[in-house]
Amino acid sequence: MNTENPAESEVLGELALQTLAMPKDTNANGDIFGGWLVSQMDLAAGIVSKQVTKGRSVTVAIQNVTFLKPVSVGSTVSCYCRVTKKGKTSVSIAVDVWTSHQLSHSDRIKVAEGLFVFVAIDENGKPRPLPA
């Protein structure tokens, strides 16, 4: 576990998505593309949004995405999500991304974080109120 910064060593939220970083997702330097990582974060937040909104929702904003460390091929990428705010039709979801190379998670490193905002929509694509 990362002990450099105690605040970064704590996993906040629930595991929403876990995947493996593959060679096809690398840039010219051999690290995983930031765009691929943002895509995984959006998928994870979308899973949580669907649970909260009890139906369709769409990403309307991605705020404050910060890449803290590069992600290497073969890393297990884990996205942890937590709802930070609920509005009338929207939900804000914080996503923290951690990687590890072993089954033990003893080498877990926080590599990215961001805030994703979703709006619940009806069958016509119009905003709808969140369920109670």
Residue 85's Cβ-count burial label (10 Å; 0-12, 13-18, 19+) is exposed
- Sheet of strand 109-120, all strands in order from the earlier edge strand to the far edge: 14-20, 76-86, 90-100, 109-120, 57-67
- Rounded CA-CA distance 32/29 in Å is 9
Three-state DSSP at 93 gives strand
Nearest Cα neighbor of 87 from 124, 57, 65 is 57
pLDDT, tens digit, for every residue of 65-119? 999 999 999 999 999 999 999 999 999 999 999 999 865 556 889 999 999 999 9
CATH class, domain 6-120, is alpha beta
Q: Is the pTM of this model over 0.85?
A: yes
Q: What residue ranges do the domains of the chain occupy? A: 6-120
Mean pLDDT of the chain: 91
